Amino acid sequence: MSASLRVPTAPHRAAPRTSPPPSPSPSPGDATALLDAYRPGTDRFLASSRQTLLASGTAAEVPHDSRPLSARVREVLDARRRAGDPAPIVVGALPFSPDAPPSLAVPQSVSRASALCEDPLIALPGPATEPGTWQTREVPAAADYAASVAAAVRRMRAGEFDKVVLARTLELTSSRDLDLPAMLRRLAQHDPKGYTFAVPSGPGRTLVGASPELLVARSGNVLTANPLAGSAPRSNDLAEDVRRAATLLESPKDLHEHAVVVAAVREALAPFCVNLDVPERPTLVRTAAMWHLSTTVTGTLADPATSSLDLASALHPTPAVCGTPTDTARAVIAESEPFERGAYTGMVGWQDADGDGEWVVTIRCAEAEGRSLRLFAGAGVVAASSPDAETAETGAKFRTFLSAVGAAL
C-alpha cells in the first residue's frame, strides 16, 4: 500500500453529510436501457463508475456572462427549485477556454441507473459498424506536430517553462449520416469502467467520447479527484503489454510529468479542505488503448457551501491538459495548435442544487457535426520528451475513437 500525505487546512465546519449517498442499486439491463434510449440533439448521456445518467429536454440554460460560473449555475438551479422542480441538476460541457460560453442546461427529466460496468448486458454484442467511407485529414500533419513538440522541448531546455500539453486533430468526413447512438454504444462497450458521454456542445454539434479521467467529484463533504499524467500505448501481446506497464511505472520522465500534475491538484484543493490525502506514488490504470499513471486524491471539505463546480473551476486547467506555468502553457498552445480546442480538454459532467456532482476531463473525444467528426488527442511535453514518442502517443489515443467509428489512421 502506498503512503499518503495528509495536508492540514482550515478549521472544520460541519457539512450536511460525511459519506457519499448510496449509488443506484444494480439491476440487469437498467444502465444499458438508458444507453440504448439516448437520442442526439435532445438528450445528454453521462456514464461514470458510480452511475448512468440520461437527461432529456431543456428546461433552462446556464447563461454566459462575467459572473463566476458556479454563481450562474447556482442561480439557475435555485430558480428551478422555486419553480417547483424538487431536484434540479445542470448537465453538459465546459470549454477549455474560460472565456468561451458553457454548454450547460437543466434538463426537463432525468433518469438514473447503476454503473454500466455493473450491468452484465453491456457485454452483449453491440451494433455493427455501418459500412461507409471516410475521408481523413490530420490537423496538423504528424510531421508538423512533431516539429511543434521539438520546438517546445528546446524552449523548456532553455528554461522558459516546465510543461505543455500539445494536441492534434483528425478531421473525418463520412459518406453517410453519422449514427451517434451506435457510436456511443461502442465507446461504452470499449471501456465500461470509464466515463462515457454524449452532450450537445453548440448549435448542431455533439460532443461524444469516453474519458478515463475524473477531474473532481463532490458528494456531501467528501471530494475525490483522479489526475492522470504519464501514458504508454497498450500492446496486443500480453508480455509486451506488461513490460510497457512496468516501464511506465518506473519512467523518470513520466513520473516527473505526473508529479507536476499531482502537486498542482494538491495546491488547488488544499484551501477547500480540512484534510487532503495524496498518495506519494502513482498507480496504474488502463483503458483499451493506453496505460496511465494515476493518483486518487480524497479530501474532506471545510465549507459545505463549496460546490463541485467551485472545485472543478479551481482545478481547471490542470497541467495534465494545459501545462505549467499555466499562462505560459496557454500561450504556447495558442501559438502551436492550428485549431480551436473548443470543448476538448474542458470538462463534462453534472451538478445538483446541493452542490454534489461529477466533472470529467474532456479527452478521448470527438465533436460531431453533420457528417463530420473532429477527433482530438494530446500529449504532455516536458524537457525529456521525444517528438516521435509524443506523436505516437497521440496516434494511440486516437485509436479509442477510430475503433468506434470503423475508421483507421
Q: Would you tell me how many other CB atoms lie within 10 Å of the CB of residue 386?
A: 15
DSSP state string for 209-262:
EEE--EEEEEETTEEEE--EEEEEE--SSHHHHHHHHHHHHH-HHHHHHHHHHH
Q: If 0-12 CB within 10 Å is exposed, 13-18 middle and 19+ buried, where does residue 341 land?
A: buried
Q: Contacts from 396-399 at CB under 8 Å and sequence distance 24+?
A: 396/233, 396/234, 396/289, 396/290, 397/231, 397/289, 397/290, 397/363, 397/364, 398/170, 399/289
Annotated catalytic residue: which of 213, 257, 367, 393?
A: 213
Cβ proximity of 96 and 339 under 8 Å: no
Is residue 193 part of the annotated active site? The answer reads no
Are 314 and 39 spatial neighbours (Cβ–Cβ below 8 Å)?
A: no
Of 38, 375, 40, the residue nearest 200 (C-alpha): 40
Which residues 6+ apart lie within 8 Å of 170 measured at CB? Answer: 136, 137, 138, 139, 374, 375, 377, 398, 402, 409
Q: How far is CA 119 from CA 25, 26, 192, in A?
A: 11, 7, 9
Among 118, 130, 138, 163, the active-site one is 163
Q: Alpha-carbon distance 180 to 107, whole Å?
A: 20
Q: Report the C-alpha gap between 52 and 117 in whole angstroms.
A: 10
Closest to 36 (Cα-Cα) out of 255, 215, 258, 188: 188
User: Terminus-to-terminus CA distance in the chain, angstroms?
Assistant: 40
At residue 7, the 3 state secondary structure works out as: coil
Active site residue 213: yes
Judge whether 215 and 359 are in contact, CB under 8 Å: yes
CA distance 33 to 268: 38
Q: Cα–chain-centroid distance for residue 377?
A: 12
Grid cell, residue 163, equals: 510543461
Cite the active site residues: 163, 213
